[in-house]
Structure 1
Amino acid sequence: MTEAIYCFDTATVRFAIYPEGPEGVRVVAAISEDPLRDLFGATGGGDTLVAAYKTHAAAIDARALERYREAPRHPVLLETRDFEVTDAHAE
């Protein structure tokens, strides 16, 4: 089951990732509204933002895990730029 909630005060969807697998530590990550609207098809309020996250959870979670592993002591907040294809990601 995917854990996700819309947070109006921060305009994000917060969700859980598990860097060491499902029995490991739970890390709360977030994705802003912009990529959910611009890239993942959300068109309405909080319910559609959560639905867009759930539909694309595999890709979003994978990017959140990458960001977490790059800087495990920093909060994970995904923005549109985190999903842009660069030469480094294209290889």
Structure 2
Amino acid sequence: MIVKRPLGEGAKPKLTPEEFINGAPDAGAGEPTAEKPKAKHVKKGNKIQITHTIQLELLERVDAAFPKMGMSSRASYINMAITQMLGRGVSFDGEKDE
């Protein structure tokens, strides 16, 4: 024979599984929870990490050039090139895009 102990003062009554789940802090007060959107970037210190695809020949040129400029990485070289292009603007078919 199973004897259930009576609830003492301050004890919480037994909840149904649905009540337990809906009472969770992240349950949204019983509303269906929406899936969080996946982050589109990864933060690394004060910078954002991205993925970039590049032609092998161009990458080889970058790898040969950055040490000649006294730079320690291809990323620093690419960042410098982007900064310079944005500062000067980019020319496509004779029209400057700023």
Shorter chain as denominator, the TM-score bin is under 0.3
Could you state the TM-score of these two structures normalised by the residue count of structure 1?
Answer: 0.26
Task: Report the structure number with the largest CA radius of gyration.
Answer: 2
Could you state the TM-score of these two structures normalised by the residue count of structure 2?
Answer: 0.25
Which has more strand, going by share of residues? 1
Q: Per chain length, whose mean CA-contact separation is higher, i.e. which structure has more relative contact order (CA < 8 Å, sep 6+)?
A: 1
Which has more helix, going by share of residues? 1
